[in-house]
Amino acid sequence: MTITPKRTQDSVIQMTELVLPNDTNTFGNLMGGRLMYWMDIAAALASMKHCSAPVVTASVDNISFENPIKLGNVVHIEAKVSRAFTTSMEVHLRVWGEDPVQQYRYKSNEAFMTFVALDPNGKSRIVPPIVPDTEDEKNLYDGALRRRQLRLILSGKMKPEDAEELKALFA
Ligand SMILES: CC(C)(COP(=O)(O)OP(=O)(O)OC[C@H]1O[C@@H](n2cnc3c(N)ncnc32)[C@H](O)[C@@H]1OP(=O)(O)O)[C@@H](O)C(=O)NCCC(=O)NCCS
């Protein structure tokens, strides 16, 4: 069975949220957990758009919050599939805050999440390959193999000695 490849751009999801009092911590900033919830949804939608199937979150790489997003500010999340493997997809997310009155944007964080496509029986199913077009998409695509090996080692699903891409970095 051949599966037609799809373009990175076709998986892009843009999510916009307004930070309301219920979304904040005691400092009046957006809670990290609420942001991760929105990021998980945006990333799941991007991966579903790519594979046209239901997905589950397999893993979330480390997230560093560079700048807090304030109450009353806007959250912009961009999610896109950076690389598709056999049944899993790596999704890249970029998050910005925006002051809607002064109208300036600031970077909040960047992250990678991995999703697995499921068939109607809940078993993992094959996803289409992805074709990157822009320089940014190509860079993300090229680094995805190394990140995948690192996360599989950390989750105990790959032996370090089998991580050829990672080993090549140090050779
Ligand atoms: C993710 C899940 C489907 C993987 O199932 P599994 O039996 O380990 O499946 P496999 O070993 O066949 O792996 C399937 C794919 O997942 C990938 N995968 C498994 N664990 C992973 C991890 N920790 N990080 C990244 N990818 C992972 C594998 O590399 C494989 O990808 P590939 O087919 O593209 O090579 C399964 O563990 C699961 O359902 N987890 C719960 C998901 C969930 O409920 N998420 C919501 C958060 S609570």
* Residue 144 CB less than 6 A away from ligand 1: no
* Residue 149 CB less than 6 A away from ligand 1: no
Q: Is residue 171 part of a domain?
A: no
Check residue 165 and give its pLDDT.
87
Q: Is residue 170 part of a domain?
A: no
Distances (CA, A) of 82 to 32, 53, 89, 123: 23, 17, 8, 23
In ligand 1, the atom with minimum distance to the C-alpha of 85 is 34
User: The tokens 């589950």 sit on which residue?
Assistant: 56
Q: Is residue 159 part of a domain?
A: no
Check residue 169 and give its pLDDT.
82
Q: Which residue CA neighbors atom 19 of ligand 1 most closely?
A: 58
CATH number at residue 91: 3.10.129.10
The domain of 46 spans 6-132
145: nearest Cα among 80, 79, 83, 93: 83
Q: Is residue 50 part of a domain?
A: yes
91 CB-near residues (< 8 Å, 6+ apart):
43, 46, 47, 79, 80, 81, 82, 112, 113, 114, 115
In ligand 1, the atom with minimum distance to the C-alpha of 89 is 34
CA end-to-end span of the chain: 37
Q: Which residue CA neighbors atom 18 of ligand 1 most closely?
A: 58
One pLDDT digit (tens) per residue for the chain, 171 residues: 678 999 999 999 999 999 999 999 999 999 999 999 999 999 999 999 999 999 999 999 989 899 999 999 999 999 999 999 999 999 999 999 999 999 999 999 999 999 999 999 999 999 999 999 999 999 999 999 999 999 999 999 999 999 998 888 887
Q: Is residue 118 part of a domain?
A: yes
Check residue 122 and give its pLDDT.
96
Check residue 168 and give its pLDDT.
85
